[in-house]
Every structure is written in C-alpha cells, then in structure tokens.
A = this chain, B = another copy of it.
Amino acid sequence: MRAIQIVTTRLSSCLRPIRLEFVSSSSPQLFSNTRRLLCTAAATKSNGGRSGSIVAPLVANEEGEEVQKIDVNPPKGTRDFAPEDMRLRNWLFNHFKEVSRLFGYEEVDYPVLETEALFIRKAGEEIRDQLYCFEDRGKRRVALRPELTPSLARLVIQKGKSVSLPLKWFAIGQCWRYERMTRGRRREHYQWNMDIIGVPQVTAEAELISSIVTFFKRIGITASDVGFKVSSRKVLQEMLRKYGVPETLFGRVCIIIDKIEKIPIDEIKKELGSTGISEDAIEQLLQVLSVKSLDDLEDVLGGAGEAIADLKQLFSLAEKFGYSEWIQFDASVVRGLAYYTGIVFEGFDRKGNLRAICGGGRYDRLLPTYGGDDIPACGFGFGDAVIVELLKEKNLLPELGQEVENIVCALEKDLQGAAATVATTLRSKGQTVDLVLESKPLKWVFKRAARINARRLILVGKTEWEDGSVSVKVLSSGEQFQVKLNDLE
C-alpha cells in the first residue's frame, strides 16, 4: 500500500469533506511513473460543472515523485454523459431526428470550430460577447460555434447552384457560449435546428412550427403546457419607417428590444435614445410592443402592410396544420439574433418558470450579408437543456434502463472459450449479449443480469456443452431449459 497525496484544487468556498483514498499497488511496480497525476476526489456531482483548477501545478509527494493535480470533473460549464445521461440524450435526439425525418428534412453538420469572422455582427448581440474564441497555432482567429445558422449559410453559399431549392435541412450540434455561470446555465448545449432555404412564403414558418408541435406531442407535452408567441419583425420595421428611423439601425433596435424583459424599461429607453430615435417614436414603439392581438395591431399599423398579411396567413395555416391552440400573437417577441427579418416565434412554458424553450424565424438577408445570392430562409433552434427541465417538472422524463437480451456465462474457467462461441452465435443472430469475461460466482452473475435488465441467462456447463447444449434461464418467469446451441434463437 502506498499513500497518495490528495490535493484539492477548488477555488470556490464550497469545499466539502474529501475522501482520502489509497491506491493498492498489487500489480508489479513495473510502470511506476516518474510523474504521477493526481486528481481531487469527486466529492460533488459532475453535472454541476464545478471545477476550480486553473493551471495544474506540480508538487512532490512523499517519495519525491512529481505529482500533478488534475480534476476529475469536466471543465467548468461542460458535461460528461455517463450511460444514464447518454440514454436520455439519445432518447431526445432520436425524437428530434424522427420528427425531422417525418417532415422530409435532410441531416447536415458543420465543424464545431469555425472561423471567428463568421459570427461577428455589429448589432450588439449578447452572443458576440460570449464567443468562445481563440487564436490557433496557425494564428487564425477561430471560435467554437455559438449557433448553427451562420455555418448553414456558409455551406449553402458554398454549394451554390449545385443544389436545388428549396433545401430542407436539420442538424443537431453542440454550441458554445462563454457565459458567466449561473444556476442551470452551462457553456455548451446541443441544439436541434430545422431550416428551409429558398421559400419566401409564410408556409415555411408554418411548417417549422408544425414540426416543433409534432415533437412536443410525441414526448407528451400538450398545448396547455407550452405555447408559441409569434410576431413579425416587419411590425418594428414598419414602425421605424413611419418615424423616419434609418433602416441601418434596424438590427440594433431589435437587439435592444429583445432585452425588454431582462432589464428595466428606463434602461431600454435610454439605449434606444442613444441610437438617435426620438422620444416620441420610442414611446410609440413600446406601445405597439405591448399589443397582444392581431386586430389591435391592425388598428395601429393599418391593414396594408406585409406584417399584418404575413401574420394573418400564419394563423390561417396554423389551423390547417392543426396547431391553432398552440400559438398566439405577441408583439413583444423579437428574438435576440440580429439577422431575423420577418416572422419570429418562441416556445414558452405556460407556467412561466423557464427560459424560452426554442425560437426561430425568417432571416431573408443573412445569405446576401455573407455575399451569397438573395435567397429567402427561415429556421429555428431548439436546445437540449430547457426541455429537460420542463419534462422533469411535468414528470414526463422517461425511465430508460440498459437493455441487453442475454447474459452468457461459463460455469467453469476452462469453458470461457465455449461461452465466447455461444456469445458469437447469438450475436450473429442479432441477439444482444453481455458476455461474462471472468470466473464469477452465480450470485454475482444474477445481480449483473438484474442490473442490465437481461431477459435470459445462458449458462455454459461442462456436461451440457459436451452435448453441444446450454442451459437457458428466462429471468422474468424463472423458466429453465436446455437447448442445443444451434437451436437457440
């Protein structure tokens, strides 16, 4: 036994007692390393993402070896996916994929590491300040993507005339934001995106919302749990035009207005004022944003504009798609990304406990902004974090255990080869098999069988095997029988 020095690296004050452990060196000391990496004991749960080590300092243990403190937690704000976490992630992603498939969308992906310039826009978005960017060894400015849409635009432009419009694409990708860590906010999340490239009509937005509704229904979420607030940026645009505000200010004004529920209204007014908009216009603008019905909006804007026409068409299509009860008009919705130009929407929980569940809209000017053709586009992003919170709250999280059909075990050490043959035979027939790789007591095997939810236990014993047979125990019923290996299905 050799004592190992356990050093804590937590900088936060929430230190908990750390369990000291000893590493037993039962195996020969052949590989005693000159430098030993040590870790802090995993006293806290991993998903909190608490991790204090900034630089791993070198110290020496009692034997004079170099000891490097490393942390067993993933870097701050990131997650491990242990098997139980991964089962939930796969369950969620499979629903994303299955819905996208039902709607005839094709899956795509882009590099998680992109050129920084792709994400730099001047409208003052939150997303820019949170860019996970750095200079690589080749002195290139790169960034871990904070969202997928710019990469999509880049790929569409690159494909050019080689693809036929409309494109209907979906992606599930990890996105990164270097945020101050608060409860439940991490620095990475996965985002499901669906996008339609090349359709100028509101039918596109209507179908996108239909796909999200389909997703909600599949996982047990109803219209009384969740709704969509819908508006159009053309409302703001028509207001700005009315007051002679330069069109170049449009993106910036949208970003300011998106913060309306996060910062005090006086602050909003001040920020809007600093763009040069008159006080009168600001008051009118804020007035319009509080409108919650299309009729009232029509009273303000008049019936002629595109904003009203688009929204009316969307609500009419919602009825045909069958999700009227899910959506409502709300002029205050503008979304926080600079590139939206038309319909915008966000999914919210009706109890009001959570951040937006998903959001999207039309971004007809993004492709030309990058130098591409003037192709209309719209899409949405749907994160993997808030929805899980909602499912927890509604008690709708699925119970997902490991599922292996067979556990195969040799009853004697020299039958391990025979057990391997049995496992191979079953696997070749498409049966899943956990093969016990060591000599273990039967009690241990039954315990493992229960843990992995095995349906059958296949025991390979001497007398049966001489006859080419194995013992099968059906674990749910206790039924037991012998069968020739070749007859085992």
Contact = CB atoms under 8 A, between A and B. Distances in A.
This chain's copy number in the assembly? 2
Contacts of A210: 420, 424
A420 B206 contact: yes
Given A111-B78, A139-B54, A247-B32, A321 B101 contact: no
Given A76-B138, A322-B421, A374 B27 contact: yes
B113 A75 contact: yes
Contacts of A30: 237, 241, 247, 250, 341
Contact of A434 (B6, B168, B204, B424): B168
Nearest to A405: B104
A137 B23 CA distance: 36
Interface in A398-434: 402, 404, 407, 416-418, 420-421, 423-424, 427, 430-434
Contacts of A54: 138-140
A86 B106 contact: yes
Contacts of A207: 420, 423, 435, 437
A216 interface: no
Contacts of A157: 39, 42, 72
Given A210-B420, A437-B204, A74 B111 contact: yes
Contact of A321 (B36, B108, B142, B421): B421
A342 to B, nearest CB: 11
Interface string A187-214: 0100000001001110110110010001
B250 A104 contact: no
Interface stretch (A158-166, A287-295, A348-356): A158-166
Contacts of A155: 46, 72, 80, 82
A78 B113 contact: yes
B142 A75 contact: yes
Interface stretch (A312-320, A385-393, A474-482): A312-320
A168 B436 CA distance: 11
A155 B201 CA distance: 49
Contacts of A4: 371
A56 B21 contact: no
Interface string A437-474: 11000000000100110000000000000000000000
A73 interface: yes
A72 B158 contact: yes
A13 interface: no
A174 B112 contact: yes
B164 A451 contact: yes
A110 interface: yes
A27 B118 CA distance: 24
B23 A196 contact: no
Contacts of A416: 203, 317
Given A136-B178, A369-B33, A104 B452 contact: yes
A26 interface: yes
Given A30-B247, A437-B201, A111 B75 contact: yes
* Complex A-B, nearest 6 residue pairs according to Cβ-Cβ distance, in ascending order: A104-B434, A320-B417, A78-B111, A83-B106, A56-B117, A38-B371
7 contacts: A37-B369, A37-B370, A80-B151, A83-B106, A83-B169, A164-B451, A317-B417
